[in-house]
Amino acid sequence: MSVRDLSTVHDLLSPQLFQWPQTREAWEPYLLSDAQVAHFKEYGYVDDIPLLNDAQIEVLRRDLEDIMDVNHPGHHLFYEFHSNESKDSGDILFHSLGHWRLSEAFHDVLWNPAFVMAAHQLLENKSVRFWHDQVFCKPAQHGGVVAWHQDYSYWTRTVAMQHLTCWTGLDDADEENGCLHYVPGSHRWGLLDAPELAGDMDGLMDCLTDAQKADFKPVPIPLKKGRGTFHHPLLVHGSYGNKSPKPRRAFVINVFADGTVSNTNDVLLQGVPPIPKGSPMQGQFFPLLYEA
């Protein structure tokens, strides 16, 4: 059974999940407030942004169940697929990249108006281009950790640093089932070493200065399902394990401002043709999501 590679479509596949606003007035309900943008600049994140309704969540959950199957006929389209990336015996952390290529729902959520407008504002009103997606799933009782890290420490193969991450929950997330934690203000610390993402929770601590360790004061980011949080590419963040009786499923959309270029001649994502160093990040796998 062949599966269509949805990366060839750079628009909504269907009007069923999302409808693209056609007027300036139609975009207004999705605008972040000045206070929200200011919070992002000051602390490196802004949270509790409404992104999905219950019906949209259910469609994404169904698609997620399908794509987590290692026998899915579109499995070869993933950039990465880890049924369990946890380094802790007995724990499970499902992590995938590239599911927008084989799921209509995860494809169309890239063009969610609430997401792209917030991303546009937080990228200083620049055009928004897609980088890659991720799914993180922590099952009940045995969910693994995501170590403290900065996203851009894994992305230096693209420059300039004008990236943005959006995390959206498909379940309610709290401290019991492994919600995100942020270290406010850490986006001003500069670029740190990249630890093993699903390894030792505190692996990053070894490369912090004494002043940074003193300012290392994580705050939990509990979110209801369908709510999202945006963070700066240098903001230190991570999440603890899930020992609760409820799952914690979430997806991540990573974007950058249009004009970002490749910083390597090597492959940027598994299965994606290289983009020569210095050339613009664009084309089939890096579509424009919102044009300023």
pLDDT number for residue 246: 97
Average pLDDT over the chain, rounded to whole?
Answer: 96
CB 287 within 8 A of CB 127: no
Segment 162-185 shows an average pLDDT of: 98
pLDDT value for 248: 97
Model's pTM, two decimal places?
Answer: 0.97
Looking at the domain assignment, is residue 89 inside a domain? Answer: no
CA–CA distances in Å: residue 171 to residues 91, 175, 192, 217 = 19, 13, 31, 25
Total count of residues recorded for the chain: 292
- pLDDT of residue 41 exceeding 70, the answer is yes
Answer whether residue 289 is part of any domain.
no
- The whole-number average pLDDT for the span 278-284 is 98
The mean per-residue pLDDT over the stretch 255-270 comes to 98
CATH of the domain at 109: 2.60.120.620
How far is residue 242's CA from residue 29's CA, in Å, rounded to a whole number? Answer: 34
Q: What would the pLDDT profile of 4-32 be if each residue is shown by its tens digit? A: 999 999 999 999 999 999 999 999 999 99
Residue 200 pLDDT: 82
Q: Is the pLDDT of residue 161 over 70?
A: yes
In a domain, 260, yes or no: no
- Note the pLDDT of residue 228: 98
Asked, for residue 13, whether it belongs to a domain, the answer is no
What pLDDT does residue 219 have? 98
In sequence order, what E strands does 152-259 have?
158-159, 163-169, 180-182, 219-220, 227-231, 237-239, 248-257
pLDDT at 87 over 90: no
pLDDT digits (tens, 9 = 90+) for 124-152: 999 999 999 999 999 999 999 999 999 99
Using pLDDT thresholds of 50, 70 and 90, give the confidence band for residue 1.
low
Half-sphere exposure of 87 (CA within 13 A, CB side): 10
In the DSSP assignment, the letter for residue 68 is T
Measured distance CA(154)–CA(94) in Å, rounded:
19
Query: 114-123, pLDDT tens digit by residue?
Result: 999 999 999 9
User: Which pLDDT tens digit goes with each residue over 208-251?
Assistant: 999 999 999 999 999 999 999 999 999 999 999 999 999 999 99
**Residue 231, pLDDT score:** 98
Residue 205 lies in a domain: yes
Number of domains in the chain: 1
Q: Looking at residues 34-44, what average pLDDT do you find?
A: 98
Whether the pLDDT of residue 2 is over 80: the answer is: no
pLDDT of residue 20: 97
Region 169-186: mean pLDDT is 98
In this structure, is residue 282 part of a structural domain?
A: no
Tell me how far apart the alpha carbons of residues 136 and 249 are, in angstroms, rounded to a whole number. Answer: 6
Is 251 inside any structural domain? no
d(CA 180, CA 136): 11
Euclidean distance between CA atoms 55 and 65, whole angstroms: 16
Structural domain for 108, as ranges? 32-70+98-240
Phi then psi dihedrals of residue 151, to 5 deg: -60, -40
Asked whether residue 79 is assigned to any structural domain, the reply reads no
pLDDT tens figures, 62-78: 999 999 999 999 999 99
DSSP state of 273: P
pLDDT value of position 264: 98
**DSSP-based three-state secondary structure for 47:** strand
User: Is 274 a residue whose pLDDT tops 80?
Assistant: yes
- Beta carbons within 10 angstroms of residue 89's beta carbon: 5
pLDDT at 100: 98
